[in-house]
Chains A and B, each alone.
Chain A
Amino acid sequence: MTEVKIDNLDVKVPKGSTILDAAKSVGINIPTLCHMKDHLPTGACRMCVVEVEGMRGLTPACAYPVQNGMIVKTNTSRVKTARKTIVELLVENHPQDCLICVRNKNCELQDLSEKYALREHRYAGVHKNHAIDISSASMERDPAKCILCGRCVRTCGEVQKIGAIDFTNRGFISNVTTPYNKGLNVSDCILCGQCILVCPTAALREKSHSKDITNAINDDSKLVVVQIAPAVRASLGEEYNMPLGENVTGKIVTGLRRLGFDKVFDTNFAADLTIMEESAELVNRVQNGGTLPMFTSCCPGWVKYIEQNRPELLGHVSSCKSPHEMEGAVLKTYYAQKMNLDPNDIYVVSVMPCTVKKYESERPELSEDYRPDVDAVLTTRELVRMFKMYGVEFAELPNDEFDNPLGESTGAAAIFGTSGGVMQAALRTAYNTLTGQNLDVLNFEDLRGSDGIKESTVNINGMDVNIAVVNGIGNIGNILDEIEEGKSKYHFIEVMACPNGCINGGGQPIHQKPEKVMKRVQALYDIDEKAKTRMSHENESVKKIYSDFFIEPNSHKAHEILHTTYIDRKKILRANVQPIK
């Protein structure tokens, strides 16, 4: 233990703690911008400077380890002047368009500007001038708003190990951008949106689809249907200061109806459908000597990753569409037929915790006759904005039920929203398919938690099925290498691009509460535990759709509607990104 004095308080912290940690332990909040928990400090923003007795300049609290007997002052006028000046400098090189900014009232720079009482333009001068990058289908990059804290760069490079963006240029014209400053659409970006979650300002944000949706709602000739992803219900309440991890499904259904959606369905239904298809595909591959291991395909970020980086391994990816695309496809076929509607008059909106889903919905492979399965995708954040715009007092809404038949779901579907969930759901059904019996224990503790790679072995009919869960795309590398070398021991691998899965997706509410993610995960597991049925093959609506329409999983019809194809994007990307000569 190390003993230090911070603002005249005696503080005892473990050896090696930073001044920032030590101050936090006694309730002293030191402002930070570039600091990221569990990452090495970069010391870039200098917001966290404090005065340490005996040191010449001011010391960055995030980067400096405490030493015995150290005397720290966090609030001297020298410190305050320094911090204020830093905020002033950042603000003066920023568009200062808070009133029309998507992050208005949820911006760390704005917060600091308020906290340090900026009241005049002390250092007004030239502004950096960079164009907004709107090239990608999911995200926008607005470097003018960037304060160069580097959190996105580190998230992309160190956490996700993609490295689609990095610093370029020097000094005042430094910029975070893609290689050769080309658009994000031709970069290595997989659009996971993790960078948006860490961006303190609106320099990174999703591309909004809400206007298209409003137009569709106002178009009487359209049946506008909406579906919500499993992860949305466990996080949306946070935007209304509800307890972390509160399940707000019923309120969301009511809210969506008030926005004018004609039908409100649950992506969880399609998640159950996905399990039926995916487990059938797995069983088929295992029994008939197909390509193994098989990867899940629910995560479009992961699919984009493998298409861009390892197209030669695409045969390992399940051909199932992701759940919301299945729901869209079913809506425009089975449901349209059943309700006697023209599929072109159905407008399908997905509310997703995800930014990549926007891009996914525009994939030509996921459309039929130029008619996309899903027409528009809203992130959780965008839905909240719509609620606010439409005057929906979310916290006070009564609960309501999903429309049917595409609204019924099981506990297995709910846990799709978290890392390891798809795998657990699939195992429950695959076991049943192969043995005709249900598993005794439905929870696989090995596959839960936030480890980068989770493994387990399940004995089915005397065969050991080796499975792995890749939690965050940054952990994928070795697994792909092993497969390429033919050394992989696995049969089935779940991959989710975002750490901890969709629950921590790039479209989720942004706020700096580290404990939020595990609370949301727990909410999904609670839904599973409390569900009437916890296995996809016991979903009555799913059974019905097979008996009425698809006949059986992986049938010809199911293949046409519920499965998709992939393309080699490596070639396309490399052709697009060439150094400027």
Chain B
Amino acid sequence: MKSFIDLVYCEECGTQHSKSYPNFISDCKTGLTCDHNDEKNDEILQLNKSLTYQKHTDPIIFIGMGTCGLASGANKVKVKIEEVLTELGVKATIVPTGCIGYCAKEVIVDIKLPNKDRISYCEVTPKDVPALIKKTLVDKQIFIEKLLATFGKTDDYVTNINDIPFFAKQLKVVLENCGIINPTSIDEYIANGGFTALEKVINNMTPKDVVDEVLNSGVRGRGGGGFPTGKKWSFALSQDTDTKYIICNADEGDPGAFMDRSVLESDPFKLIEGMIIGAYAIGANFGYIYCRAEYPLAIERLENAISKCEEYGLIGENILGSDFDLKIKIKKGAGAFVCGEETALIASIEGKRGMPKPRPPFPAVSGLWGKPTIINNVETLSNIPSIVIKGADWYSSIGTENSKGTKVFAISGKVKYSGLAEVPMGTTLNEVVFEIGGGIPNNKKFKAVQIGGPSGGCLPEKVMDTPVDYESLKTIGAMMGSGGFVVMDEDTCIVDIAKFFLQFIKNESCGKCVPCREGTTRMLEIIEQISTRYGDGDPLDELKRFKGIIHLERLAGVIQDTSLCGLGQSAPNPVLSGLKYFREEYEEHLFERICSAKVCKEILTYTIDKDICNGCGACLRKCATDAIIGAKKELHVIVQDQCTKCGVCLETCRFDAITVN
């Protein structure tokens, strides 16, 4: 198949129509404007139709091959499909796409027959493939067993994909192409409307216009802080120097967050378009994408996207015939969480130890190599093309008063449908958990949702009516963060969760400022004292345990108040929100020395119910530490001093005679 770059070139007009000229993108969509190329223009229009899959002769098989798809076995499915196709002698085009967001249902395979609607199948395994291919491609019927939805007309047993509960409440702006188009094809991106925004910006807008448009749209930083993007850009625009930088922060590190990875893997061109527009707006001629090295697929697709854009003259010198130049480089992060912090990220690019610096000076004034630098998150930049095309008014009509647009959440944990969901700001937490996420599986009770990663907090049922926006989340003790959304059921122990996040922060603290370096370790020690057998029986140590909890809140306050960067300032949030909403659980651990969720192993007590035990001896034989004694057919007893709380006896007992408290 020819690509746009081969076609959009007029031999007679010659150099005038070299690849970088002002109307390149619109010519890709509608054909060359000179009169010499009627035949060629037909070809261009045909190419557009086939790239958007409106017109094709062979069936097309789309396979979701983001990291989530690959982890579920998309590669094996693809190999199997190829095998089956050769076996059956059926011709079909296989298109690898990114992730559509419905991670719980991967591997997702879409099949589109010529002149038919695209039908989506989910949870496809290699075993299903022969039947699936035969039924759909040979019999031209729908394979009901694995049917997910259709992208077109519905009938009795096929629902439209947008009517599925997981998708129904979503509004896709950033994710609009994810899982739909081939993320490695620049032509497909252009045919689907890509780079139109860039063309508009370069030809019809001054940098000031762009900044104003972004400012008016009200879009705020999606990396967690929520600083208005337009305002940030206007700072950099007003700096009068020869060199400025734009950096895309793709160092996604929150436990449970994978939005940026998905965008990078599924629609890298959108991010790059946003980045080029941003660079144009602030006057930067050099861009870095700081991506964590643990995202190999994302880096691969970014590299591909950058080289394609260079080939098409969308990155490089004289972009689209203008006098605007831009180079973009990928910088791989070495895995330090703190390098997601702006100043630490800059230090890392400069080749220094990734440690934050005090602000001011802000990076917009003095950043990378001392030059004005704008750092935007992946999701923020991916919003920009839509804002330019559809306008600030459209964007600001979505969302709440102070939080505009949509937000992508990575829903995971104890929820029926995990995956990526993009919802308008203002959607309530309830809607996200129970409608999009489908509620809690296995008839368990909802307990809390952890939002905002290690900087966020655990929110209980009583605040679930809160709309998702920057301010509301802050008032209830969490924060937007980057968009991690971990749902927890009754089997989760809040103290244990606090311990997990503190452990994370403690390990990821850069060690520069005292409160974060020393304080988080002490907080963890205090939490560990209450969830372990620390001090049991020893009055002095027991006193220390009680004292610890008294000092915990004081220490947390100081860490919040005095830490150098956001990592430290928000480090106590998981503990503080826990103490706010689940204080009784902390107290239960501390005073009664029990863990109702039965997670904190060390303080659990295993006992044998004397009325039920029939002395079968099964547990006695399994106990690795000989903590169970009792003669055959007699009542068995657990010797507490010897018990290591491993739980094997509980699993072994067929009569449910063993209780845990």
- The answer, among A42, A58, A85, A124, for a CB contact under 8 Å with B512, is A42
Interface positions of B from 484 to 528, Cβ below 8 Å from A: 506-515, 517-522, 525
The verdict on B555 contacting chain A, using a C-beta distance below 8 Å, is yes
CB distance from A501 to the nearest CB of B (A): 31
Contacts of A47 in B (CB 8 A): 514
B358 x A89 contact (CB < 8 A) = no
> Please, how many angstroms separate the alpha-carbon atoms of A85 and B336 in the complex?
27
- The answer, among A78, A85, A172, A173, for a CB contact under 8 Å with B515, is A85
CB distance from B253 to the nearest CB of A (A): 13
Query: Chain B 595-621, CB within 8 Å of chain A: the 1/0 string?
Result: 000000000000000000000000000
The verdict on B127 contacting chain A, using a C-beta distance below 8 Å, is no
Which interface residue of A46, A57, A65 has the most chain B CB atoms within 10 A? A46
> Please, how many angstroms separate the alpha-carbon atoms of A42 and B564 in the complex?
10
* Stretch of A162-170, A413-421, A453-461 contacting B (4+ beta carbons < 8 Å): A162-170
A44 x B360 contact (CB < 8 A) = no
CB distance from A147 to the nearest CB of B (A): 8
A43 x B357 contact (CB < 8 A) = yes
Interface positions of B from 232 to 280, Cβ below 8 Å from A: none
B509 x A170 contact (CB < 8 A) = yes
A89 x B522 contact (CB < 8 A) = yes
**Chain B contact patch, size range:** 35 or more
CB distance from B226 to the nearest CB of A (A): 13
The verdict on B353 contacting chain A, using a C-beta distance below 8 Å, is yes
> Please, how many angstroms separate the alpha-carbon atoms of A92 and B560 in the complex?
19
Contacts of B97 in A (CB 8 A): none
A125 x B525 contact (CB < 8 A) = yes
A171 x B555 contact (CB < 8 A) = no
Q: A125-B522, A126-B525 are in contact. Are A174 and B554 (CB under 8 A)?
A: no
B358 x A63 contact (CB < 8 A) = yes
Q: A43-B564, A46-B515, A92-B518 are in contact. Are A81 and B558 (CB under 8 A)?
A: yes
B518 x A172 contact (CB < 8 A) = yes
The verdict on B561 contacting chain A, using a C-beta distance below 8 Å, is yes
Which interface residue of A58, A93, A125, A170 has the most chain B CB atoms within 10 A? A170
Q: Chain B interface mostly helix, strand, loop or mixed?
A: helix
B562 x A57 contact (CB < 8 A) = yes
Q: A42-B358, A63-B358, A123-B522 are in contact. Are A169 and B562 (CB under 8 A)?
A: no
A-B contact count (CB 8 A): 117
Query: Chain A 288-309, CB within 8 Å of chain B: the 1/0 string?
Result: 0000000000000000000000
A41 x B506 contact (CB < 8 A) = no
A174 x B555 contact (CB < 8 A) = no
Contacts of B520 in A (CB 8 A): 171-172
> Please, how many angstroms separate the alpha-carbon atoms of A64 and B554 in the complex?
25
Contacts of A85 in B (CB 8 A): 515, 519, 554-555, 558, 562
- The answer, among A57, A122, A148, A150, for a CB contact under 8 Å with B569, is A57
Q: A43-B357, A58-B562, A123-B555 are in contact. Are A86 and B511 (CB under 8 A)?
A: no
The verdict on A45 contacting chain B, using a C-beta distance below 8 Å, is yes
Query: Chain A 86-101, CB within 8 Å of chain B: the 1/0 string?
Result: 1001101100000000
> Please, how many angstroms separate the alpha-carbon atoms of A41 and B360 in the complex?
10
The verdict on A60 contacting chain B, using a C-beta distance below 8 Å, is yes
B353 x A46 contact (CB < 8 A) = no
A45 x B514 contact (CB < 8 A) = yes
- The answer, among B517, B557, B562, for a CB contact under 8 Å with A172, is B517
Contacts of A166 in B (CB 8 A): 353
Contacts of B557 in A (CB 8 A): 81
Interface positions of B from 338 to 371, Cβ below 8 Å from A: 338, 353, 355, 357-358, 360
The verdict on B563 contacting chain A, using a C-beta distance below 8 Å, is yes
CB distance from B531 to the nearest CB of A (A): 15
> Please, how many angstroms separate the alpha-carbon atoms of A78 and B522 in the complex?
20
The verdict on A82 contacting chain B, using a C-beta distance below 8 Å, is yes
Contacts of A167 in B (CB 8 A): 353, 355, 511-512
Chain A positions within 8 Å of B, measured between CB atoms, are: 41-47, 49, 57-58, 60, 63-65, 78, 81-82, 85-86, 89-90, 92-93, 122-126, 147-148, 150, 166-167, 169-174
Of the A-B pairs whose beta carbons lie under 8 Å apart in the complex, a sample of 25, sorted by A's number, is A42-B357, A42-B512, A44-B564, A46-B515, A49-B562, A57-B560, A63-B358, A78-B561, A81-B558, A85-B555, A86-B558, A89-B515, A89-B522, A92-B518, A123-B518, A123-B555, A126-B521, A167-B355, A170-B510, A171-B506, A171-B510, A172-B517, A172-B521, A174-B510, A174-B511
Closest 9 CB pairs of A and B: A174-B511, A43-B358, A89-B518, A63-B358, A171-B509, A85-B558, A123-B522, A125-B525, A172-B521
Chain B positions within 8 Å of A, measured between CB atoms, are: 336, 338, 353, 355, 357-358, 360, 506-515, 517-522, 525, 544, 547, 551, 554-555, 557-558, 560-564, 569
